[in-house]
Amino acid sequence: MISSIKTSMGSREWAMLIILSVLWGGSFFFVGVAVADLPPLTIVTLRVGLAAVALWSMALVMGLRPPKIAKVWTAFLGMGLLNNVIPFILIVWGQTQIASGLASILNATTRLFTVVVAGMLRPDERATRLKLVGVAVGFIGVVVMIGMPAVGEGDRTIAQVAIIAAALSYAFAGVYGRRFKAMAINPIVTAAGQVTASALVMAPIAFTLDGTLDIAGPSWGTWAAIVGLAVLSTAVAYVLYFKILESAGATNLLLVTLLLPVSAILLGSLFLNETLEVIHFVGMALIAVGLSAIDGRLWQRRG
């Protein structure tokens, strides 16, 4: 049986989506700091491992316990691979070759892939013409805001393709994750389960390829970035992720990828002394138009 979702988001879902965009927008900043001192696989392992500790601590305080059914843990593993292991590795490695701003614009293709994937696999998330137009306008806004000339810089093509492949993996994860609502699993337990499965997969890979971690090597700033990446951009973010997913569906949830560049620019302006130009506000305006078209409510009233 297919559980229904709201095709249009309410104020609660929009508030969670905006918070999630800030948390995930910050992840590009945190990764940008961490890659200076740590190899990509180690960063991913620390991210999911520390997030698992934080989430299970939260779950236990709330009286929630890990599920004991093998089918549920198999689903956690599938979600962890699609939503953590594959995209995290690709994005972190990609950010060793390209800037975080460019990574965020390429990550925004998640929204495009999701409309297609969810439209094919979920009968209750069929893409409408208005939604497709909204996605196109929103993505144009992302391109305008970050700057098209940055895309396609010579040797960095493979890194850019890696980020796009991560976006495709996120799109499938958004659709795959809908099954947890039918299983009646608390979003905190779902988030904890997927990062735990991811950590179990990543730990031996990182140890084999990156070697042992020299704890004293990285700077305090790197460790602060890792903690922020694990606790804020992963543990807290995934609680919001699964709450939005179960009520609004994958297509609405992954609107967040269009908001990430906005968050990245605003965070850069606040903490890195970067300035906002007129073109950034033009891009934000296009994104706002795209989001309103995908949500549909304002456009239905005009009709």
Residue 6 is assigned to a structural domain of this protein: no
Q: Token pair of 149, please?
A: 């000339």
- Give the total number of structural domains in the chain: 1
Q: What is the pLDDT of residues 160-203, one digit of tens each?
A: 789 889 989 998 998 898 788 788 888 899 999 999 999 999 99
Residue 303 placed within a domain = no
Assess if residue 110 is contained within a domain. yes
Two structure tokens written together for 90: 């690709």
Query: 138 lies in a domain?
Result: no
In-domain check, residue 251: yes
Strand, coil or helix: what is 70?
helix
The amino acid that residue 277 corresponds to is: E
How confident is residue 2, by pLDDT bands cut at 50, 70 and 90?
A: very low
Residue 85 falls within a domain, yes or no?
yes
> 184 in the Ramachandran plot: left (φ > 0), alpha (ψ -120 to 50) or beta?
left
The answer to whether 33 touches 233, Cβ cutoff 8 Å, is no
Residues 205, 41 contacting (CB under 8 angstroms): yes
Cα–chain center distance at 207 = 25
pLDDT tens, residue by residue, 265-301: 777 677 766 666 677 678 778 877 877 777 666 676 5
Host domain of residue 113: 11-128+153-264
Comparing CA positions, the residue from 234, 166, 225, 209 lying closest to residue 37 is 225
pTM: 0.79
* Residue 293 resides in a domain: no
pLDDT at 204 > cutoff 60: yes
pLDDT tens digit sequence for 99-123? 777 777 778 778 778 877 877 777 6
Q: Is residue 253 within 8 Å of 241, Cβ to Cβ?
A: yes
Spatial contact of 257 and 111, defined as CB atoms under 8 Å apart: yes
Q: Is the dihedral of CA 284, 259, 93, 39 positive or negative?
A: positive
Residue 278 forms part of a structural domain: no
| Euclidean distance between CA atoms 136 and 294, whole angstroms | 10
Q: Is the pLDDT of residue 82 over 70?
A: yes
How many other CB atoms are there within 10 angstroms of residue 300's CB atom?
10
